[in-house]
Amino acid sequence: MNYAEINADCPKYESLESFLMLRAIHYAVEFHKVNEIRFSFAEPSVEVAEMWRESLNRKKREVKLIYQAAMPNVVKFAAPDCRFMINGVRHVQLGIPEIPDLTDFHLHTSLAYCSENMDVKKAVGLAHISGVKHVNFAEHSGQLYCSADTYWNNRFRWQNRQTDEDLTANYHELIKAEALTDCMFGTELDVDADNVVSVIPGLNGFRLGAIHFLENNLSFEDKKRDFMCRLDALLDSGIDILAHPFRVFLKGGMPIPEDLFEPVAEKIVRAGVAAEINFHSNHPQPEFVKLVLKKGGRISFGTDSHHLYEAGYLTPHYEFCKMLDIAGKLDSLLLHANIVDME
Ligand SMILES: [Zn+2]
Ligand SMILES: [Zn+2]
């Protein structure tokens, strides 16, 4: 059994700290294989306990939470480092070292059908206390123009979109309402089965491109061909970032097609498109990222936040770069909001 000790004051629901602490729980379980967490404080409010439990259940994290444990040797859990102790012997930290112009290009808003509790202002607050300088929301274009049922069942087609389910105006309104919030708004562009990219008129900002679906009932080889056709369509549409590059295979229970690393890296680098490092229900492939960098391409960080605890949670991204021995070169390898050509 592995355990973590978190020495902190009892978090309140309204405070951003309750989300930071939930982030620590997810991080400890996922990356330090912890199955028991001891807190120095009494059980939090019912709202916080419920919010944590729901989020942990959704990610299928099996962890026992114990309250009011004595922990004289554990450093206080506080931003920006957010340190806690593992197995009574070593401190680990959730915070990452300062990276100039650090940008999280990929957060969702409350308009996403898969949003758990997103809120623009709170997400920006969390990203900022996590060391993120620029925050970019990128709403799914496929979700903005069709119903949840149509979207999740992979029946969306940009050419015969149903205007009765159009949330585009809501996104425009949200952007207007948040005009004074220190953040940016773009889109995560979907590409449909006709290989048409759903570019929403009037929405500017950063363009992420994502392949969330492949046609059903295809052989693995044909799925790979489908993937490459959709990639070409996204690149032709003029995206800045390829979101979670091979996640569609992972989520579909398929092997990662390593033979596509070379052609995908070649195409995106030639198109000046960054490869996203994304840990939302995903694990980036080190060999693919190395190839992109070897070809002179860039990477970008995206939390793909659907829950507030994820906003600014770039610890896995930073650790991944450390593992690749590029953590010291992120100034030049990482895409930042202030160096993208906004044409
Ligand atoms: Zn996505
Ligand atoms: Zn996303």
Tens of pLDDT along 199-243? Answer: 988 888 999 999 999 999 999 999 999 999 999 999 999 999 999
Residue 174 lies in a domain: yes
| pLDDT tens per residue across span 241-292 | 999 999 999 999 999 999 999 999 999 999 999 999 999 999 999 999 999 9
Q: Which two tokens stand for residue 59?
A: 């990610």
> Peptide bond preceding 284: is omega within 30 degrees of 0, i.e. cis?
no
Ligand nearest, relative to CA of residue 139? 2
CA–centroid distance, residue 305 to ligand 2 (Å): 7
CA–centroid distance, residue 39 to ligand 2 (Å): 32
Counted domains in the chain = 2
The residue out of 93, 113, 142 marking a domain boundary is 93
Q: Is 259 helix (H, G, I), strand (E, B) or coil?
A: helix
Ion ligand 2: residue ranges with CB closer than 5 A: 188, 304
Handedness of CA 213, 219, 220, 221 (dihedral sign): negative
Q: Which two tokens stand for residue 311?
A: 């906003």
CA–CA separation, 338 and 306 (whole Å): 24
Residues of the chain with confidence (pLDDT) below 70: 162-164, 339-343
CA–centroid distance, residue 262 to ligand 2 (Å): 24
pLDDT at 163: 61
Ligand nearest, relative to CA of residue 112? 2
Q: Which two tokens stand for residue 24?
A: 């620590």
Cβ pair 144, 167 in contact under 8 A? yes
Would you report the helix, strand and coil content of the chain in percent, each value rounded to 5? Answer: 40, 15, 45
Ligand nearest, relative to CA of residue 190? 1
The residue out of 93, 119, 136 marking a domain boundary is 93
What residue type is 312 in one-letter code? G
Q: 287 and 150: one domain?
A: yes
The residue out of 64, 93, 122 marking a domain boundary is 93
Q: 85 and 134: one domain?
A: no
The secondary structure element, H or E, covering residue 37 is strand 36-39
CA–centroid distance, residue 245 to ligand 1 (Å): 9
CA–centroid distance, residue 108 to ligand 2 (Å): 6
Residue 107 lies in a domain: yes
Q: What domain range includes position 299?
A: 103-339
CA–centroid distance, residue 1 to ligand 2 (Å): 34
Q: 117 and 88: one domain?
A: no
Model confidence, pTM: 0.95
Ligand nearest, relative to CA of residue 247? 1
Q: Of 178, 59, 132, 185, which is closest to residue 300 (Cα–Cα)?
A: 132
Residue 63 lies in a domain: yes
Q: 262 and 319: one domain?
A: yes
CATH for 191: 3.20.20.140
Q: 31 and 116: one domain?
A: no
Q: 255 and 158: one domain?
A: yes
Cβ pair 209, 241 in contact under 8 A? yes
Q: 143 and 290: one domain?
A: yes
